[in-house]
Amino acid sequence: MWIESEKNPWIRRWAALQSKKGRKEQASFLVEGVRLVKELLQSSLQVHALAFLIDRDADGGSFAALADLAGLRQVPMYHLSARAFAAVSDTVTSQGVIAVAGIPSSPAIGLDDGEETRAIQPSWGYDAEMGGRALLLDGVQDPGNVGTLLRSADAFALKRVFCGQGTADPYGQKAVRASMGGLFRLQVHSGKTSTEYVNAWHRQWPQGEVWVADAAGASLCSEAVLTGPVLLVIGNEGNGVSPGVLSLAHGRLRIPMASETESLNAAVAGSILLYEAYRQEMKR
């Protein structure tokens, strides 16, 4: 289907996905770029539409390959004029392809107080290979940091990430790009407070431990036991982990450093801790 006008209803609808409000209302998000769109089409996420900038192909064959993948999944495809495409794209130099993907519904996690019968469902709370291992982002505001942490979670075999209130939207374009496809393979929860997520996780994993990243923490990450059910918490870039979550934590982890650097970037620190937990789990 050919779309020329930036005022076309489909273009207006897709352009609205540049805002968090629009993404929430439509339960959809944008994925831009040849590599990311390919990974999306190869994932289990629902894909509502695929849009190409007319007469643009990054390498002379990538569009055809994406069209083949989309065809196999029966994804509707559109060709857009430069004006229409620009209304949807948020990049300065686009590769000329955008997909509209569905935000998956979060499985029930039993957040209602006192409802023990509605505890976290087994499908949410158990991974055969890495049972109980999860990541909580507690007010991580930079979307680049959020996306990088999603990428690291995927790389180090975590399947579940909680984004507490105050954390940047993991489905925003910057976070999606920074995740490099990791977002498509994770179960991401958002919309609740960090303490609600900690309590919900603990109801399913009462024997599990909550560890927070803290440059002044008493425990070295290499010496703490990070195997089994573990919830790792990365806090706000400026203020760290919130007091409510700290009160529920079993300990604070610090990363040994040789220099006088006060602290590491949230995404760097989180990635190191995720690797350390993965390393320990692999040695068991």
Please list the pLDDT of the chain residue by residue as tens digits (284 residues).
Answer: 899 999 999 999 999 999 999 999 999 999 999 999 999 999 999 999 999 998 766 556 789 999 999 999 999 999 999 999 999 999 888 899 999 999 998 665 544 443 332 333 333 434 444 468 999 999 999 999 999 999 999 999 999 999 999 999 999 999 999 999 999 999 999 999 999 999 999 999 999 999 999 988 888 999 999 998 999 999 999 999 999 999 999 999 989 888 777 778 999 999 999 999 999 999 87
Residue-level pLDDT at 112: 46
**CB count, 10 Å around CB of 131?**
13
Sequence ranges of the domains in the chain: 2-102, 123-283
User: pLDDT tens-digit profile of 46-74?
Assistant: 999 999 998 766 556 789 999 999 999 99
Beta carbons of 160 and 186 less than 8 angstroms apart: yes
Residue-level pLDDT at 107: 60
CA 160 – CA 156 distance, rounded (Å): 11
Q: What letter represents residue 18's amino acid? A: Q
Residue-level pLDDT at 60: 61
Query: May I ask the CATH class of domain 2-102?
Result: alpha beta
Residue-level pLDDT at 106: 67
Residue-level pLDDT at 73: 96
The structure tokens 């400026």 sit at 238
CA 177 – CA 148 distance, rounded (Å): 9
CATH of the domain spanning 123-283: 3.40.1280.10
Residue-level pLDDT at 118: 32
Residue-level pLDDT at 11: 97
Handedness of CA 199, 150, 28, 74 (dihedral sign): negative
Residue-level pLDDT at 215: 84
Beta carbons of 68 and 57 less than 8 angstroms apart: no
Grouping H, G, I as helix, E, B as strand and the rest as coil, residue 33 is coil
Look at the chain and count its residues. Answer: 284
Beta carbons of 208 and 228 less than 8 angstroms apart: yes
CA 283 – CA 193 distance, rounded (Å): 34
- Alpha carbon 217 to chain centroid distance? 26
Residue-level pLDDT at 109: 55
pTM: 0.89
Give the chain's radius of gyration (CA, Å).
Answer: 20
Residue-level pLDDT at 82: 93
Q: What is the dihedral angle through the alpha carbons of 59, 61, 62, 64, rounded to the nearest 10 degrees?
A: 150
